[in-house]
A and B are shown apart, each in its own frame.
Chain A
Amino acid sequence: MSTIPQWVKNLKPAGPQGTELLQQERNKSSVDVEQLSNFLFTKDGLARKQRVLEILQNDKVFDKSQNYFAGRVDRFETALARAKKLRQLHIKHNFSQDDKMVANELISEPGPYGLHESMFLITLRDQGTPEQHEVFLRKAEQYKFIGCYAQTELGHGSNVRGLETTATWNSDDKTFTIHSPTLTSSKWWIGSLGRTANHAVVMAQLIVDGKPMGPHPFVVQIRDMESHQPLENIHVGDIGPKFGYNTMDNGYLLFNKVKVPHISMLARFSSVDPKTGKYARPASPSLVYGTLTWVRSTIVMQAGGVLARGVTIATRYCAVRRQFQDRDAPEWQKGENQVMNYTTVQVRLLPLLATTFALHFTGKAMMALYAASQSKMSQDAGKAGGPQRGAGPEETNAGSDLLADLHATSCGLKSLASYTAVEGLEICRRACGGHGYSSFSGIGPWYADYLPTATWEGDNYMLTQQVARYLLKTARSVLKGVDPNTNDTTLILSTFLARQDTGAAFDVLGNDSDIVAAFAWRASFLTFEALKHRDEQKKPWNSLLVDFYRLSRAHSQYMIVKNFYETLQSSSPAQEGMGTETLDIMHKLFRLYALHTLEQEASEFYTSSAVTVRQIQLARANAVMKLLEEIRPHAVRLADAWAFPDWQLDSSLGRYDGKVYEDMFYRASEQNPLNRVTIDPYPDSPTLFKANEAAALKSRL
């Protein structure tokens, strides 16, 4: 039924074809894609992805071809259909947790069950008592209760203590009254709430005997189980279209003095005694600490993959796209240059390619450390008086000290990693020139959905204050002579103090471990500078926020460089079968990431005397340029190792087979509903669409 004339169908792109160009790229490089993929994801992980992919591709509801065209309501409707189907498949194929995560990655759009499946279930599980598990969790696991996590309000997000929703204890009838006193107290941004959920975990200020006790979680039914209409005195809806995330119904929620029973307050850590009306204090907050650390480490690791999508697309496209002959090429040399050969394209893409690995390894290392700290903690718990203790660097309990360190570093890394991925995706998109602006590039829509990661789980700027606070605290304890081996932070700060006067002479151009040391040095230098401002000069906290931001950034960059280096240095690449040639390229990527960063942040490295001006000059003029040249031939294969199926990328520019132009043309001419419309273009005529075959097509099916 296509309207495309035969002569158009006969056309081929001008040669050389994209497929040939990518084949050449792949032939030129000795990087072993399979080895590297296995190293990144393990064989099992890759097989899992393949298996789930086949299941999804077989179901028409997951077909992506109209995603880029539809309006908000249609998109949501389709997303709901997909969410249901995925749940049905989950049961049919007995999906594991990992299978489901992979399925979500492949579908690549936030779905209406998103917050039910994450925060709602986790909160019920972690914060509910056994009795509450019985009442709420069981039904939630069966998707009879569908829920969300309602913390943020119109007026408050970062400052959780400022929440205005109240939950007042009524001792007479043993209930709580949930109430929204102002417009700004409306819950806002809550995923899965707008249209989907029938229950919510609501964070509200607990008031007992007129005394505010701070925010606490309550499970509240919000919609009727039959009609799905809001219950009386509850006002709930979707907050409207957004930059991205439009397949998710982020919602608002208001209560007009709604009474809920005593069991609604999740009471594992704090509770109101129904008989006496006495409030019992929360136990150690360190458990929450743990979950947050885990969530943030996941964001760090995912940031690598998020960015890798953009990098894969841009790398392949820039190898297929040819524009201009080389200015210095001899007359006789015909043919245009692949734009990947221009150094201004390389300097944008290749450091990002290196960054994808850097983030992935760092995230992985964080997750491993987290697991280690958890098992240490439970050991400690066996020895000492139980896990109910605070986590501060002054205290000497290996497990929780590790965790405190991890917690702080994960804040900084979450901030830097998601910032880097966000910025990097846009760089990739722009590097694709005009075609990058098309939705079919696949980068723009992906970027839009990823953006909120910079804001949630701690606003990226705000989080850096926590890192700074921790580093200052640690620096004070180091000055007081704490054991350097307490954790990595105490170690680098102590090392800096010890060598401060003799100075550093790091051979960053010749020696990889010196690169790591130079990053540690700069972070330590900035820590003690900040400490001077705060403790000696007594500067107000707020006047130092910019310094703190820089400090956190420096520390996180050190962490990334260190983890990248240690991953390559460890025995695991060899154990997992990575050959020396591939490993050699990985070392070059490490150097590119590190030296490019060093060059970008030159003045801090220079001011801290970690390196000399001359070294920085050389890093840029020689080392980085040379690395770009050396890595360039391997770019396509390195991107291939990220093993994105075309179905996941959903991109004309990033196709594995390089059929960029054919695919762009196909989507534009055959999948595009606008081309089924004939319009009346003349200003004097009120007719807009003369004929709309798209509508006709819809009703026929």
Chain B
Amino acid sequence: MPDFTDTLRPAGPGGPAILAKERDSSDVPVEQLAQHLFPSNDFLGRQERIVPILENNKLFDKSKQQNLSRPERYRLGLARAKQLRRYADQYNWEDEDLNVAQYLCDDVSPYMVHYSMFITTVREQGNEEQRSYWLPKIEAMEAIGCYAQTELGHGSNVRGIECQARWDPAKGEFELHSPTLTASKWWNGTMGRTANHAIVVAQLLVPKSAESKDYVNHGPHPFIVQIRDTQTHKPLPRIAVGDIGPKYGYAPMDNGYMLFDHFRIPHSAMLSRYSWVDPNTCTYSKPANPAVVYGSLTAVRASIIMHARLIMARAVTVAVRYTCVRRQFQDRDSNDKRAPEMSVLDYPTVQIRILPLLATMFALHYTGAAMQSLYENTRAQIDQGDFSKLAVLHAQSSGLKSLCTELAANSVETCRRALGGHGFGGGSGLIQLNNDYLSKPTVEGDNWMITQQTASYLIKRMSAAVAAKTEPQDEVEAACKEWLHQGHDKRSSPLQIFDSDEQLVEAFHRRSRYLTYQAYIEREVKNRSWNSLLIQLRKVSHAESQSILVTNFHKALQNPSSNLPPPLKAHLRKLFQLFTLYTLDSEARDFLKASAVSDEDLDRLPDRIQQLMAEIRPHAVNIVDAWKIPDFLLDSALGRYDGRVYEDLFNRAHRLNPLNKVTFNPYYTSDEIEMGGGDGELRRIVAKL
């Protein structure tokens, strides 16, 4: 409906003009930087191809989804998931195309676990026969599956799960059973409404011998189980399965619960590539090396880091563009009463929240890439059964998962809060991002827990280095040895962090070794209890992870094969310094104690950081542009490429908002709620509760 608001324009200077000026006054080469960031796998090409396909289908229009109830969000999610899969057939998409399409659609798809954990588990844990039986069905989506490990009572402690798979030699079947309420499967994605199959992880109970009544528990094992009828899609008898209800985010995903009442499954249900129960003798054979699963976990974690950087990039893109367009107050120290208001990004208290994050996303990028190539390089060894390199990679990846997902999750909120009132609005584009991403600090290993794995590994290597009996087993142990050798107990002189990037990196190494050594002393020499050391161990892990981030960032800039043109390299170097010094500043005391930096240098840090921010500020828009996050994905009035912030906010409120289609009766003396609805309305509302 046309009305007088159609002709209104925002007060000047307008967003487009502001952003154009920002873009013109920076010499950061956007295209070159984009190529540098996404060199492989044609990510940008795929994105360019797929965005128009989704934009042209109304089903993927995001403008009203925030208004929907939970069941409606799921319904929409299912419709989109189906459509994407049909596109994949129609356009002959590669897996990577479907991934990019899902990334752009930005729903946590109800098919997600089918495509990821379900198929991967069958591939990796199924024997040949199982794979050739299941994989075609899975790929054709006749079998739609989920991964049911976590239970109501146990998530982190997988060994503590209660669901049982009891081998019955007489009938030649397993019996799946949930003995308690806490044994209910819980949180398992795709299971609540969508899946007709599940990988069920259960305690494997096998009689001591074919005749024995005594059962031995061999621990959690995976079984592939049909859970719903393929025609009616109703749960099979003796299975109770459903959706667990609304969550902080993940609205389109049907995380589920599931219970078994003495449910029978065949011998072939147990995925048996590595472990196996002989149906006749009841003999159980174990996996050769438990490290087999490490491999894929490490790959998963490298991709978590690569994903985390894109999350940050999205949040920072919105924040940088909006805080340039948003103007508030004139400069206090200026006498020019006519001067336009300041872009809020020019306030250091805004910069200090956003610009270090701009630098951090590059840090994650280089480390994610390094982990991926490290993993690929060691793959050959893994396939030959040599896991020696994997142990360290795995330990490092645990700590990095914890630190990087924490940084990314917090960055979304930090950016959002830097946007004032409009950050809280649906047009910020950061709400669903926050809601969905905040699962990451918990899933794939709770962030406060898995740092213990990293610390435990580091302490072991430090112990070995102190004992010095054998040649170092890996680079970490070698570094510990080196550090011990340098005479850590005599006060080594602090490093010159402002003079040389190498020394700056070295400062991070020194502090990490120092903290590892302290933890080693506490645990191995003083025999302190593990539990009393948890907080310290987390620090050890974070220090090591930060040291890895800094090292990889530095290496990437030194790498001659990246062919960075010198002006771009100079910009990246500033980002490197900002990330590094900012991190150092927030952990200053550890660096001091490790005699990695001097007291005087620490005092100089805040000024240096503020100066770096001032230098980076004029290039912020171009730098985020280079991350090439399409408007379709941002779905943000504040972060639009063209800067038409206010027009978009108004359009969303005025034209796209279903609440405005209803006229309410606001007077308390009447029980009518909607104008013309009559007094019976209150009863209707109450009936729904």
Q: What is the bound-complex CA distance between A260 and B346, given in angstroms?
A: 40
**Interface: A156 (CB within 8 A):** yes
Chain B residues with Cβ below 8 Å from A5 are: 240, 261
Q: What is the bound-complex CA distance between A195 and B82, given in angstroms?
A: 37
Q: Are B426 and A240 in contact, CB atoms less than 8 angstroms apart?
A: yes
Q: Are B675 and A241 in contact, CB atoms less than 8 angstroms apart?
A: no
Q: Are A673 and B70 in contact, CB atoms less than 8 angstroms apart?
A: yes
Chain A residues with Cβ below 8 Å from B603 are: 607
**Interface: B671 (CB within 8 A):** yes
Known: A69-B71, A542-B331, A682-B144. A143 touches B667 (CB 8 A): yes
Q: Which residue of B lies closest to A344 (CB)?
A: B534
Pick the contact of A228: B11, B529, B589, B675 (CB < 8 A).
B675
Chain B residues with Cβ below 8 Å from A249 are: 659
13 residue pairs of the A-B complex, CB under 8 angstroms, read A72-B658, A83-B668, A158-B329, A159-B328, A164-B11, A237-B659, A240-B656, A242-B431, A243-B425, A430-B448, A664-B152, A674-B70, A674-B254
Q: List residues of B whose CB falls within 8 A of some A CB.
A: 3-5, 8-11, 66-72, 74-75, 78-79, 81-82, 85-86, 110, 141-142, 144, 150, 152-157, 160, 162, 178-184, 186-187, 192-196, 232-234, 240, 242-250, 254, 257, 259, 261, 328-329, 331-333, 341-342, 346-350, 352, 413, 416-417, 420-421, 423-428, 431, 434, 438-439, 441-443, 446-449, 529-535, 538, 588-589, 592, 602-603, 606, 610, 646-647, 649-650, 652-654, 656-660, 662-671, 673-675, 681-682, 685-689
Pick the contact of B233: A233, A451, A678, A701 (CB < 8 A).
A678
Q: What is the bound-complex CA distance between A143 and B667, given in angstroms?
A: 7
Known: A189-B421, A344-B448. A73 touches B659 (CB 8 A): yes
Q: Are A183 and B442 in contact, CB atoms less than 8 angstroms apart?
A: no
Pick the contact of B682: A61, A63, A157, A459 (CB < 8 A).
A61
Q: Are A540 and B244 in contact, CB atoms less than 8 angstroms apart?
A: no
Q: Which residue of A lies closest to B194 (CB)?
A: A681
**Interface: A513 (CB within 8 A):** no
Pick the contact of A336: B157, B534, B589 (CB < 8 A).
B157
Q: Are B155 and A688 in contact, CB atoms less than 8 angstroms apart?
A: no
Q: Are B11 and A344 in contact, CB atoms less than 8 angstroms apart?
A: no
Pick the contact of B155: A73, A434, A547, A681 (CB < 8 A).
A434
Pick the contact of B333: A7, A437, A541 (CB < 8 A).
A541
Chain A residues with Cβ below 8 Å from B82 are: 682-686, 688
Interface of chain A residues 355 through 395 with chain B (CB within 8 A): none
Chain A residues with Cβ below 8 Å from B424 are: 242-245, 451-452, 455
Q: Which residue of A lies closest to B114 (CB)?
A: A681
- The residue among B249, B416, B425, B606 with the most chain A CB atoms within 10 A of its own CB is B425
Give the size range of A's interface with the partner.
35 or more
A40-48, A322-330, A514-522, A560-568: which lies at the B interface?
A322-330
- Bits for A231-263, please: 1 = Cβ < 8 Å to B, else 0: 001010111111111000100101010000000
Q: What is the bound-complex CA distance between A688 and B82, given in angstroms?
A: 9
Q: Are A84 and B668 in contact, CB atoms less than 8 angstroms apart?
A: yes
Q: Are A684 and B86 in contact, CB atoms less than 8 angstroms apart?
A: yes
Q: Are A603 and B341 in contact, CB atoms less than 8 angstroms apart?
A: no
Q: Are B685 and A185 in contact, CB atoms less than 8 angstroms apart?
A: no
Chain A residues with Cβ below 8 Å from B423 are: 455
Q: Are B9 and A182 in contact, CB atoms less than 8 angstroms apart?
A: yes
Pick the contact of A13: B180, B446, B529, B668 (CB < 8 A).
B180
Q: What is the bound-complex CA distance between A544 and B607, given in angstroms?
A: 10
Chain B residues with Cβ below 8 Å from A452 are: 421, 424
Interface of chain A residues 499 through 550 with chain B (CB within 8 A): 540-549
Q: Are B152 and A347 in contact, CB atoms less than 8 angstroms apart?
A: no
Known: A437-B438, A683-B86. A668 touches B261 (CB 8 A): no
Pick the contact of A343: B81, B532, B606 (CB < 8 A).
B532
Pick the contact of B668: A143, A436, A542 (CB < 8 A).
A143
Pick the contact of A237: B85, B144, B654 (CB < 8 A).
B654
Pick the contact of A540: B85, B144, B183, B333 (CB < 8 A).
B333
Known: A239-B657, A665-B184. A541 touches B332 (CB 8 A): yes
Q: Are A240 and B659 in contact, CB atoms less than 8 angstroms apart?
A: yes
Chain B residues with Cβ below 8 Å from A196 are: 664, 666
**Interface: A602 (CB within 8 A):** yes
Q: What is the bound-complex CA distance between A700 and B71, given in angstroms?
A: 19
Known: A662-B181, A682-B141, A701-B687. A437 touches B439 (CB 8 A): yes
Chain B residues with Cβ below 8 Å from A55 are: none
Chain A residues with Cβ below 8 Å from B110 are: 681
Q: What is the bound-complex CA distance between A341 and B529, given in angstroms?
A: 13
Having A343-B534, A669-B242, one finds 16 other A-B pairs with CB under 8 Å, namely: A5-B240, A8-B240, A68-B246, A80-B664, A81-B685, A143-B668, A158-B328, A195-B662, A434-B150, A437-B438, A438-B246, A616-B589, A668-B242, A668-B245, A672-B244, A680-B233
Known: A430-B441, A662-B181. A228 touches B666 (CB 8 A): yes
- Bits for A663-677, please: 1 = Cβ < 8 Å to B, else 0: 011011101111101
Q: Which residue of B lies closest to A90 (CB)?
A: B668
* 6 tightest A-B CB contacts, nearest first: A71-B69, A241-B66, A701-B687, A683-B85, A87-B668, A444-B248
Pick the contact of A229: B246, B427, B663 (CB < 8 A).
B663
Q: Are B668 and A88 in contact, CB atoms less than 8 angstroms apart?
A: yes
Chain A residues with Cβ below 8 Å from B86 are: 683-684
**Interface: A627 (CB within 8 A):** no
Q: Are A183 and B650 in contact, CB atoms less than 8 angstroms apart?
A: yes
Q: Which residue of A lies closest to B153 (CB)?
A: A14
Q: Are A180 and B78 in contact, CB atoms less than 8 angstroms apart?
A: no
Q: What is the bound-complex CA distance between A326 and B75, given in angstroms?
A: 44
How many whole Å from A530's CB to the nearest CB in chain B?
12
Q: Are B413 and A112 in contact, CB atoms less than 8 angstroms apart?
A: no
